[in-house]
Amino acid sequence: MVSLFHRGPDGAGEFAADYVHLGMRRLSIIDLEGGWQPLYNEDKTIVLVANGEIYNHIELRRTLSNKGHRFTTASDCEAIVHLYEEYGLDCVEHLRGMFAFAIWDVTHCKLLLARDRMGEKPLYIAEQKTNQGLRVLFSSELKSLMSSGQINFELDPVALNEFMHYGFVPEPRTPILGVRKLPAGTVFTIDLQLRHVTENSYWKLEDAPPLIGDPASIIRAELEQVGELVTRADVPLGVALSGGLDSSVVAALAAKYAKGTVHAFSVGYKGTPRQDERSEARACADHLKLQFHDLEIAIDDVLDGFRHRQLMCDDPIADIASAGYFAVAKLARESNVPVLMQGHGMDELAWGYPWLRDATRLSIEKNRGQDRGIAGAREFLPDGVAGADFRRYVVKMGTWLSGWNNILPERSGRPDQLVSYDLQQNYWSGVYGVRYLYTSKFREALQETTAADLFCFERPWQDIPVLVTKLACDIYLRENGIAQGDRLSMASSVELRLPLVDYRLAETIIGLRKSYQDHELGHKAWFRAAIRGLVPDEVLDRPKRGFTPPVSDWLRALRSRYGSLLEDGFLVQGGYFEPLAVKKMLSSSSRFSAWPGLFYKALVLESWVRDMAEVTRRANNLSTFD
């Protein structure tokens, strides 16, 4: 529990019995004085520890009180206890919010673990067979599990390969063998009386029922309800504001529904380069009458905090924008604002990324048997040219070779491989890494698995726009945007809320998509129509902005400061990376090469492995990589 202090500096609680030990750290957001955990039912036969926020707790409390349940606190999480009393394992069906929780049912000797539908809150699990039976360790953080001294530090080659393609490790894997993530929307139970373990999915995005009606009106109605629910708090509330569309919508909802002053936080960069977004953010904050705070990130800030940020992410996440997200959360905490709202989610749900629309169109063509991939064309290109660069080449070729502007490298893949994240340059740098960076030992350990297995489905594919959206949410949104936001905000003792990933809002968009096709309507067409009047027209017309740093400058500085870590590091000594390839990677900076993208992922992984190994070493008091 000591390792979880940053997630909950306001207090701690424990429960111990013959078969179970529960502990938690609390970050006080609702019922500051009375909502201490563990929480119990009336006769203390149900015990709960929970992480997250139940946004509809007021409505649940009213319903459950009418059924005779007696509440002893004003905590939002106490609703979970009484829901379990009333509905058993189906309690999760009634929750609207972000959560990971554990319930111990004293009477039935049953442990229940559950995670929210969109995966906003993490839950790591290690299942171990002992002479006494099955032992299950679980925590909100991987660092916490590794600090237990009960888990060996052994890397999973399949997870490492996925990381080198995606820049993160998709669930349920972690980089550590023997530790996994409980999938989002899942309930895990251990019944000691029956000696039975079960794991069931209670929600899937693609199962949303079809909806009929005007998309703009329906989406706007859901947004308004989300705004009312997600702004509930007994502490000051803030918004991470870039001045772009999504964060401006979140700010407008906060300004409309939150009680008291709403704070806006933004970051800029030394020298005010073109990526600096503070002027747009300040204009939006002034329009909405928010209290504006900003800070400037210098390259030294990025370098000095690099290794700490990677460890705080728990899983390795190679998103260079992490420095901006961490700085915003830290600024919020220093301003005494422990709840921060952010605009993640709508890019994945509403065609905010052009590559998602491309993936949909190309998958539909492939499903019809119209795929015209020409992998051989890559042989004419310089070594290591990655996916997006390849596309730029063929677009130029398209001026004299008709039709080539729509063709991407090896887009066919396996017959059952949906076109998806493999359109990304980030992914193709990983493909190049398999060929030139990996040792033969590492390649052999991967056997028949590939990073593309995650988007392989039996054909013919149904509802391809829905399937592409599901993959974007389950993989990229959850493991990059959501995970990074949660970990880096909690590292600063700040609760991050993401109104635009509310599951009812997501179901609404998917339900409409099952009735109407919108992937050819352009950038966030339905969403933009829905928010007209909520934000100024100039925000609607502004190009997409986010916490986008001066990437080239930062990469050069990181290579200079930390590149030596890779030359004879853990990944080289462990037989994962070829030493000569690492040297080439460190010397290459051409934007037409895959090496720069591989460098940042390799550096993040090396830093993460070193520091997580040290966490384990301290717990086990064993020597490991120095």
Q: How many other C-beta atoms can be found within 10 angstroms of the C-beta atom of residue 370?
A: 9
pLDDT in tens, 185-238: 999 999 988 888 999 999 999 999 999 999 999 999 999 999 999 999 889 999
Alpha-carbon distance of 167 to 131, in angstroms, equals: 38
| Mean of all residue pLDDT scores within the chain | 87
Arithmetic mean of pLDDT, 391-414 = 41
SS3 content of the chain, % helix, strand, coil (to 5): 45, 15, 40
pLDDT in tens, 57-93: 999 999 999 999 999 888 899 999 999 999 999 999 9
pLDDT at 546: 53
Structure tokens of 548? 């986008």
Q: How many other C-beta atoms can be found within 10 angstroms of the C-beta atom of residue 522?
A: 11
Q: How confident is the model at residue 269 (pLDDT cuts 50, 70, 90)?
A: confident
pLDDT at 620: 79
pLDDT in tens, 111-128: 999 999 999 999 999 998
Residue after which a domain boundary falls, among 174, 203, 232: 203
591: containing domain? 372-410+419-455+550-620
Residues 74 and 148 in one domain: yes
Question: Considering the chain, what percentage of its residues have pLDDT values greater than 90?
Answer: 66
Residues 140 and 100 in one domain: yes
Whether 506 shows a pLDDT value over 70: the answer reads yes
State whether residue 19 is helix, strand or coil: coil
Residues 616 and 564 in one domain: yes
Total domains in the chain come to 3
Helices 354-367 + 464-471 axis angle, to 10: 130
Flag whether 18 is in a domain: yes
* pTM for this entry: 0.90
Give the CATH number for residue 306: 3.40.50.620
Residues 333 and 234 in one domain: yes
Residues 536 and 554 in one domain: no
Alpha-carbon distance of 17 to 103, in angstroms, equals: 13
Structure tokens of 231? 């702004």
Residues 266 and 325 in one domain: yes
In 413-569, the DSSP E strands lie at 495-497
Arithmetic mean of pLDDT, 97-117 = 96
Alpha-carbon distance of 61 to 75, in angstroms, equals: 10
Residue after which a domain boundary falls, among 540, 561, 582: 540
Residues 395, 396, 398, CA angle at the centre, nearest 5°? Answer: 65
Flag whether 129 is in a domain: yes
Residues across the chain: 626
Flag whether 287 is in a domain: yes
Phi, psi (degrees; rounded to nearest 5) at 128: -130, 135
Residue after which a domain boundary falls, among 203, 234, 251: 203
Phi, psi (degrees; rounded to nearest 5) at 111: -110, 130
Q: How far is CA 78 from the centre of its chain?
A: 26
pLDDT in tens, 316-356: 999 998 999 999 999 999 999 999 999 999 999 999 999 99
Flag whether 182 is in a domain: yes
Reference 117, options 600, 470, 619, 376; nearest CA is 470
Contact 139, 150 (CB under 8 A): no
Residues 175 and 262 in one domain: no
Alpha-carbon distance of 171 to 15, in angstroms, equals: 29
Q: How confident is the model at residue 380 (pLDDT cuts 50, 70, 90)?
A: very low
State the residue for tokens 């220093």: 334
Secondary structure element (H or E) that encloses residue 120, with its range? none
Q: How confident is the model at residue 412 (pLDDT cuts 50, 70, 90)?
A: very low
Q: How many other C-beta atoms can be found within 10 angstroms of the C-beta atom of residue 560?
A: 10
* Helix residue spans in 202-305 (DSSP H): 215-230, 245-257, 278-288, 299-304
Residues 44 and 177 in one domain: yes
Residues 192 and 212 in one domain: no
> What's the one-letter identity of residue 202?
Y
State whether residue 404 is helix, strand or coil: helix
Flag whether 356 is in a domain: no
**Eight-class DSSP state of 190:** E
DSSP bridge partners of 196 = 191
Flag whether 146 is in a domain: yes
Residues 265 and 327 in one domain: yes
Alpha-carbon distance of 472 to 505, in angstroms, equals: 16
Task: Please list, in sequence order, all residues whose beta carbon lies within 8 angstroms of the beta carbon of residue 467, skipping any fewer than 6 positions away.
Answer: 206, 363, 418, 457, 461
Give the CATH number for residue 47: 3.60.20.10
For strands 339-341 and 495-497, give the pairing.
Answer: parallel
State whether residue 240 is helix, strand or coil: strand
Whether 366 shows a pLDDT value over 60: the answer reads yes
Residues 101 and 176 in one domain: yes
Task: Please list, in sequence order, all residues whose beta carbon lies within 8 angstroms of the beta carbon of residue 57, skipping any fewer than 6 positions away.
Answer: 30, 75, 76, 77, 78, 79, 97
In 454-526, the DSSP E strands lie at 495-497
Flag whether 358 is in a domain: no
Q: How confident is the model at residue 15 (pLDDT cuts 50, 70, 90)?
A: confident
Cα dihedral 201, 204, 210, 213, rounded to 10, equals 130
Residues 403 and 438 in one domain: yes
Alpha-carbon distance of 370 to 90, in angstroms, equals: 44
Flag whether 480 is in a domain: yes
Whether 296 shows a pLDDT value over 70: the answer reads yes
**Eight-class DSSP state of 107:** T
Structure tokens of 595? 């090496």
